[in-house]
């Protein structure tokens, strides 16, 4: 048999047949897990299993059912070792089936090299279209790639995003993985499983009445990079400025993507470039036009001060090769893998047959399926014990997820009605905060801020009114800084010193940093 290798390489194992009812029992399961761990170690992260053969490699052949059962056992054992079945070769021989399975261990610092990138920008600037075009790799000649993200009925009817949407873009051996149908959950799950670098996109909202939803996306999702999208036929708008301000306030590196260059005149494109240059220089950032890969190499390690600017067209695909290369080369930002788990809850679901499911981005630490966790705080500041029964990321079931991953978690021990956005999942119940001190900068205000002022505080996925008490000043006006005390009006929340936040009153009024938690 050509597919049966010689046992010269020690990371190769022959198996005739494995049965879940027998081989997933405690002792046999432990033996198989230890064996695979050893094979992965000596194979530098790769193990090869040949199934349907005896210990000498002689073909025995399996039925279709036996083949699938053997595969399912090895899949479970692979998960136990933080590994996955990467490739399966199946052949007919000796009246049955024989297969060769390649099993690969995930990277040590997480399941994948993984980044979270949030799109921002004015309505109809092309945020959803960029992501849809990246996922498919095809030109958007029909103008419908935005539909791969904006799937709610009222979004389709009005041709605009109304909520946060999530998408996945992956690379394998340095090449992008494109989807034939980005709406197919199985395709998206295969990207999550088969990529060695993942980009989780959070597509925010550009329509002004829903700016608070965009804030939730930028403040509450542990963003690594911001993709500020500006349509060349519209230019810079007040929403462009506000979204850029939010990204800078959260200390998120920014990449500017100029879209629709096939529709705008040369003069209009130059005008938009000038507007972007002036806007960036006014906030202390250096604009840098990306024309080729050499320009990418110049900017990739200087994103704290330099803002790369790429020109794109989803119709001609101009600029997309550079954008993909840029996403591939973007480094992971510092992750808090070693700290205890903290995940802010963003969305809550009641799923038939599953029960209560929450989703959000892991702020720090690792999340493991089957582990007992603490959930809270409630209105009284208390936490309850729950169990994470299963974890999914982009429709792909995993046993463990690291810092930065956008995940959905099925919970046992809590009812849907008892959950609120802004609660956290954690390993041990932390101190919760009703009052805190902060250094703030007032960006805009028609009059002045005095004691008793009650804006809405946006920190992580928390959004709640808080009362202001000034320290050392009678009032603060636009452009001024000061130290103030905030007291949440209704419930305590989890926050830490150093957390950045935004405060709003109809519109964004200022930004701040927590300097001291009080009680």
CATH code: domain of residue 84? 3.30.110.10
Residue 312 pLDDT > 80, yes or no?
Answer: yes
Comparing CA positions, the residue from 108, 58, 49, 107 lying closest to residue 77 is 49
Tell how strand 372-376 and strand 367-368 pair up.
unpaired
Q: Does residue 406 contact residue 353 with C-beta atoms inside 8 Å?
A: no
Residue 213 pLDDT > 80, yes or no?
Answer: no
Residue 106 has what DSSP assignment? P
Residue 507 domain boundaries: 435-517
**Among the three residues 65, 81, 105, which one is the final residue of a domain in this structure?**
105
Structure tokens of 353?
């047959």
**Is residue 227 located within the same domain as residue 360?**
no
Q: Does residue 347 contact residue 423 with C-beta atoms inside 8 Å?
A: no
**Is residue 318 located within the same domain as residue 359?**
no
- Examine residue 171 and state whether it is found in any structural domain, yes or no: yes
Q: Distance between CA 39 and CA 46 in Å, rounded?
A: 7
Helix (H, G, I), strand (E, B), or coil: what is residue 243?
A: helix
User: Alpha carbon 481 to chain centroid distance?
Assistant: 33
Helix (H, G, I), strand (E, B), or coil: what is residue 415?
A: coil
Indicate left, alpha or beta for 128 from its phi (over 0: left) and psi (-120 to 50: alpha).
Answer: alpha
**Is residue 312 located within the same domain as residue 451?**
no
- For 290, other C-beta atoms within 10 Å of its C-beta total 22
> To which H or E segment does residue 137 belong?
none
**Is residue 269 located within the same domain as residue 322?**
yes
- For 289, other C-beta atoms within 10 Å of its C-beta total 14
**Among the three residues 329, 362, 397, which one is the final residue of a domain in this structure?**
329
- Using a 10 angstrom Cβ sphere, with 0-12 exposed, 13-18 middle and 19 or more buried, the burial of residue 208 is middle
Q: What share of the chain is helix, strand, coil (3-state, %, to 5)?
A: 25, 35, 40
Q: Does residue 171 contact residue 177 with C-beta atoms inside 8 Å?
A: yes
DSSP for 167-182 reads EEEEEETTEEE--S-T
**Is residue 117 located within the same domain as residue 158?**
yes
**Is residue 297 located within the same domain as residue 402?**
no
Segment among 166-170, 227-231, 453-457 with least mean pLDDT: 166-170
Q: What is the CATH number of the domain that holds 360?
A: 2.40.30.10
User: Alpha carbon 106 to chain centroid distance?
Assistant: 18
Structure tokens of 399?
């046993």
Q: Does residue 202 contact residue 221 with C-beta atoms inside 8 Å?
A: yes
φ and ψ at residue 405, rounded to 5 degrees: -75, 135
Mean pLDDT over residues 211-216, rounded? Answer: 69
**Is residue 261 located within the same domain as residue 164?**
yes
Instruction: Give the tens place of pLDDT for each residue, 480-506.
Output: 999 999 999 999 999 999 999 999 988
Confidence class for position 221, pLDDT limits 50, 70, 90 = low
For residue 152, the model assigns a pLDDT of: 43
Residue 122 has what DSSP assignment? S
Mean pLDDT over residues 172-199, rounded? Answer: 85
Helix H, strand E, coil C: the string for 315-382 is CCCCCHHHHHHHHHHCCCCCCCCCCCCEEECCEEEEECCCEEEEEEEEEECCEECCCEEEEECCCCCC
**Is residue 321 located within the same domain as residue 203?**
yes
φ and ψ at residue 498, rounded to 5 degrees: 100, -15
**Is residue 372 located within the same domain as residue 460?**
no
Mean pLDDT over residues 243-248, rounded? Answer: 88
DSSP for 152-219 reads SHHHHHHTS--S-EEEEEEEETTEEE--S-TT-HHHHHHHHHH-SEEEEEEE---SGGGHHHHHHHHH
Instruction: Give the tens place of pLDDT for each residue, 372-421.
Output: 999 999 999 999 999 999 998 877 788 888 888 889 999 999 999 999 99
Structure tokens of 215?
């804030």
| Whether residue 377 has a cis bond before it, omega within 30° of 0 | yes
Residue 13, strand partner residues: 49
For residue 110, the model assigns a pLDDT of: 43
**Is residue 101 located within the same domain as residue 121?**
no
Q: Does residue 227 contact residue 255 with C-beta atoms inside 8 Å?
A: yes
Taking CA atoms, 235 is separated from 368, 398, 507, in Å, by: 45, 42, 22
**Among the three residues 278, 305, 329, which one is the final residue of a domain in this structure?**
329
Q: Distance between CA 483 and CA 414 in Å, rounded?
A: 39
Q: Distance between the two ends of the chain, CA-based, in angstroms?
A: 71
Instruction: Give the tens place of pLDDT for each residue, 98-115.
Output: 999 988 876 544 445 788
Structure tokens of 44?
């530098």
Structure tokens of 271?
């005008």
**Is residue 16 located within the same domain as residue 130?**
no
Q: Does residue 477 contact residue 448 with C-beta atoms inside 8 Å?
A: yes
- For 13, other C-beta atoms within 10 Å of its C-beta total 20
Domains held by the chain: number: 4
- Examine residue 168 and state whether it is found in any structural domain, yes or no: yes
Q: Distance between CA 62 and CA 95 in Å, rounded?
A: 8
**Is residue 347 located within the same domain as residue 318?**
no
Instruction: Give the tens place of pLDDT for each residue, 274-283.
Output: 999 999 999 8
- Examine residue 334 and state whether it is found in any structural domain, yes or no: no
Residues 6+ apart with CB under 8 A from 38: none
Residue 334 pLDDT > 70, yes or no?
Answer: no
User: Mutual orientation of helices 64-80 and 26-42 as an angle, nearest 10°?
Assistant: 70
- Examine residue 336 and state whether it is found in any structural domain, yes or no: no
Q: Does residue 87 contact residue 74 with C-beta atoms inside 8 Å?
A: no
Q: Does residue 429 contact residue 374 with C-beta atoms inside 8 Å?
A: yes
- Examine residue 335 and state whether it is found in any structural domain, yes or no: no
What's the whole-model pTM score? 0.67
Residue 160 pLDDT > 90, yes or no?
Answer: no
- Examine residue 7 and state whether it is found in any structural domain, yes or no: no
- Examine residue 274 and state whether it is found in any structural domain, yes or no: yes
More confident residue, 62 or 192: 62
**Residues 431, 432, 433, 437, Cα dihedral to 10°:** 30
- Examine residue 148 and state whether it is found in any structural domain, yes or no: yes
The radius of gyration computed from the CA coordinates of the chain, to the nearest angstrom, equals 26
Helix H, strand E, coil C: the string for 42-70 is HCCCEEEEEECECCCCCECCECHHHHHHH
């Amino acid at each position: 048999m050509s597919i049966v290798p010689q046992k010269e390489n020690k990371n190769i194992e022959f198996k005739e047949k494995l049965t879940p009812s027998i081989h997933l029992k405690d002792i046999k399961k432990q033996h198989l897990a230890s064996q695979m761990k050893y094979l992965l170690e000596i194979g530098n992260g790769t193990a090869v299993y040949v199934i349907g053969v005896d210990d000498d490699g002689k073909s025995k052949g399996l039925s279709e059912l036996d083949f699938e059962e053997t595969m399912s056992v090895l899949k479970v054992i692979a998960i136990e070792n933080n590994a996955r079945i990467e490739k399966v070769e199946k052949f007919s021989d000796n009246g049955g089936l024989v297969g060769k399975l390649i099993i690969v261990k995930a990277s040590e610092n997480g399941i994948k090299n993984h980044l979270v990138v949030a799109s921002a920008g004015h309505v109809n600037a092309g945020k959803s279209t960029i992501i849809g075009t990246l996922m498919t790799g095809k030109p958007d000649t029909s103008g419908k790639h935005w539909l791969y993200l904006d799937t709610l009925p009222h979004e389709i009817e009005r041709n605009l995003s109304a909520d946060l949407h999530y998408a996945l873009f992956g690379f394998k051996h340095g090449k992008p993985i494109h989807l034939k149908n980005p709406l197919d959950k199985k395709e998206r799950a295969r990207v999550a499983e088969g990529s060695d670098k993942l980009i989780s996109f959070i597509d925010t909202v550009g329509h002004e009445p829903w700016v608070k939803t965009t804030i939730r996306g930028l403040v509450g999702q542990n963003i690594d990079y911001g993709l500020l999208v500006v349509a060349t036929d519209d230019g810079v708008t007040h929403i462009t400025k506000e979204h850029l301000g939010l990204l800078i306030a959260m200390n998120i590196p920014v990449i500017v993507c100029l879209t629709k260059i096939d529709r705008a005149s040369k003069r209009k494109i130059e005008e938009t470039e000038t507007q972007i240059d002036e806007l960036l220089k006014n906030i202390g950032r250096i604009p840098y036009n990306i024309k080729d890969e050499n320009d990418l190499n110049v900017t990739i390690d200087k994103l704290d001060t330099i803002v790369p600017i790429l020109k794109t067209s989803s119709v001609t695909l101009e600029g997309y090769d550079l954008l993909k290369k840029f996403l591939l080369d973007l480094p992971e930002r510092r992750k808090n893998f070693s700290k205890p788990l903290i995940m802010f809850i963003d969305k809550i679901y009641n799923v038939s047959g599953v029960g209560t499911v929450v989703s959000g981005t892991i702020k720090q630490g690792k999340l493991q399926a089957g582990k007992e966790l603490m959930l809270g705080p409630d209105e009284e500041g208390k936490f309850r014990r729950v169990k994470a029964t299963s974890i999914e990321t982009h429709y792909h079931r995993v046993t463990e997820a690291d810092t930065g991953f956008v995940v959905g978690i099925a919970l046992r021990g809590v009812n849907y009605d008892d959950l609120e956005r802004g609660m956290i999942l954690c390993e041990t119940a932390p101190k919760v905060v009703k009052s805190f001190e902060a250094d703030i900068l007032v960006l805009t205000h028609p009059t002045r801020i005095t004691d008793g002022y009650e804006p809405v505080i946006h920190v992580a996925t928390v959004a709640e009114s808080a009362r202001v008490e000034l320290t050392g000043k009678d009032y603060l006006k636009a452009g001024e800084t000061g130290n103030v005390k905030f007291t949440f009006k209704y419930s305590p929340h989890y926050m830490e010193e150093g957390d950045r936040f935004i405060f709003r009153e109809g519109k964004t009024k200022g930004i701040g940093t927590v300097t001291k938690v009080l009680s």
